[in-house]
Amino acid sequence: MINLVLFGKPGAGKGTQASFLKSEFNLVHISTGDLFRNHISNQTDLGKLAKSYMDQGDLVPDQVTIDMLENEVDQNKQAKGFIFDGFPRTEAQAEALDVFLTKKGMKINATIALEADDDILVQRLLERGKSSGRTDDQDEGKIRNRFDEYNSKTAPLRTYYNNQQKFHSINGIGTIEEITARLTELINSL
């Protein structure tokens, strides 16, 4: 079983590469954003609980997110592994994920950061914003603000996973095929 955490600033190509990894290695891609939307739209107990926090303008507690992840893992018992995308975002979440996976007899095999220069990512996102309709991809100030958020909250996980010898950095510049080849080589070496 291969369990991966995929990191990267907005525009780094996480979604594109997760789609490839999912099919190439028969992994289940768990995007916490999609998970939240699904639970809320289906009005599950966890979705209602998450929405109650969100409606108050509060962050959803880590345990609610972990419960959603655990539910998703339990529904995919035949999976050869998982790609966690959007979680963990903090060291406390990484620790909670480790505890949850250990209870299941599983572990994170690798965390992979798709690295790219901010100016290149800004251009990618502005280009994506022309067709996606996402307002957060159409304003350079908002994009750079998202980068700052990533740098302050998510990037410190590099140290957490480095200490476990599970952190890997991949050059996220090049063609989709070139980046995919780098990821494939790394995963095959695990």
pLDDT, tens only, 96-141: 999 999 999 999 999 999 999 999 999 999 999 999 888 889 999 9
Q: What is the CATH number of domain 2-188?
A: 3.40.50.300
Q: What angle do CA 68, 74, 76 make, to 5 degrees?
A: 110
Measure Cα distances from 100 to 46, 61, 65, 93, 108 in Å: 17, 15, 11, 10, 11
Could you confirm whether 146 is annotated as catalytic? Answer: yes
* Residue 154 confidence class, pLDDT cut points 50, 70, 90: confident
| pLDDT at res. 110 | 97
* Residue type present at position 17: Q
Could you confirm whether 124 is annotated as catalytic? Answer: no
| pLDDT at res. 99 | 95
* Residue 151 confidence class, pLDDT cut points 50, 70, 90: confident
Determine which one of 128, 144, 158, 166 is catalytic.
128
CA 22 to chain centre: 13
Task: Please give the model's pTM, rounded to 2 decimal places.
Answer: 0.87
Could you confirm whether 134 is annotated as catalytic? Answer: yes
| pLDDT at res. 24 | 93
| pLDDT at res. 32 | 86
Decide if pLDDT at 69 tops 80: yes
Determine which one of 48, 80, 134, 153 is catalytic.
134
